[in-house]
Amino acid sequence: MSMGPRITPSNPVRKLGRMDYERCAALHNELYHLSWRGSCPSPHITWWEYFSPSQKIAETLDPSLIEFLKLAYVEPKDNPKDPMERPALFYWIHSLIPPDAFFETLVEELYPGRFLWLYCTTGYNMGDERGILYDQEESLAAFIGHIFEESPMCIHGWGFKPLEVILYAYLDMIDEAKVTLMCPNPPDWPAVMKPWVLHPYTKSDVDKALSAMQKLLDAIQARQPVHEATNYNPWSDLDLLTSINLPPKTFIHDFLTGLSPQRIPFRYIAPGIRLPTVSEFAAQPYLGSYPTNDPTKLPLLLFYTDNKKGLGQSHPEGDDKSLYQSGLNGFGDRGMVQLDKVLLRWAQMVEDGEWEIGKDGVVDKIERFKDADTEMHWYKYCLPPSW
């Protein structure tokens, strides 16, 4: 690991046919040192030293997993006696599992000895969270947020990936300040999983969304025929945000504030999806009536469709809501997709010539999204899994 454990374009995931235990242990230990920083001085001991598993247990483990457990830190030698004082490895995962619980999975009867419960959760959701399961046969792992997701994820392989990809993603979230170490006097919200705080959004989230929106607007404008057009940006006047009592210090407030100087000479940014008018945006149907005290969870209608009658069915054939969704991604318990990822996908569709562009932006109607149900085009409406 002379290049370091972090995953980069020049230092990608290595296909070894087994767990890349040196890299996984290095990433695990980086998280470990961050979580224990200031809590307890070294020296620290590894999982294998701490639990000293029996030969019978060792015989059930893949050799590369054993090597990982011999390198991964689990406790300081002079560990706090109170378990509540022990910091979590990360916001979603508390620690490596003791050996006697390795095979306490819901799929043990179906796949004896194959799926191993490797990391337990922090109890972040006050319910039946699971943690990270490791597939000894495929040398892959997945974070499983809820017990009821365990069987389908294991049976179908949903969300499983090399363990180092998951651990690196957690460090990436720390680098982007999505997850931070708590301050000395943490607030009641957002919730703390000692010593970690998961933030609803960061400056990086806003910057990425603005950059993606700019990329989409530039791609459309570059393909428009020459014409004179007005500015269709409804957020040019920031008084509009004040008029609907949009809470400050929220992602959408910062995003629209950043977008306000942008001149947008068209309305349609995707098939059948357009910018709202000022009056439409001002008439938000949910603000002020939605039952939540969390200002980041107020549903706000951002982009609009033309609401053409007859396009829908009173009794739809299905209820698939997977368009541009991450599904069970195996990283963590964050189901919703970040806005920048959808906008970047739309920009790519424009740049690839998949959507027709005219004077008013994207010409294609909303029916174009039905391509997502076809064998030939479905992949164009999917997003790669990420945190």
pLDDT 10s digits, 11-47: 899 999 999 999 999 999 999 999 988 666 667 899 9
User: Is the CB of residue 278 less than 8 Å from the CB of residue 369?
Assistant: no
pLDDT for residue 317: 53
Buried b (16+ CB within 10 A) or exposed e, 325-351: ebebbbbbbbeebbbbbbbbbbbebbb
pLDDT 10s digits, 200-249: 889 999 999 999 999 999 999 999 998 888 899 999 998 998 888 888 88
pLDDT 10s digits, 130-146: 999 999 999 999 999 88
Count of helix runs (H) and strand runs (E) in the chain: 11, 13
pLDDT for residue 366: 93
Q: Which residue has the higher pLDDT, 149 or 322?
A: 149
pLDDT 10s digits, 297-343: 667 889 999 865 444 454 445 445 568 877 778 888 766 788 999 99
- Both structure tokens of 34: 């961050």
For residue 115, give every residue at least 6 positions away whose Cβ sits within 8 Å of its Cβ, in sequence order, or none: 103, 105, 107, 108, 133, 134, 135, 136, 154
**3-state DSSP call for residue 362?**
strand
pLDDT for residue 189: 62
Mean pLDDT, the chain, whole residue set: 88
**3-state DSSP call for residue 46?**
strand
pLDDT for residue 310: 46
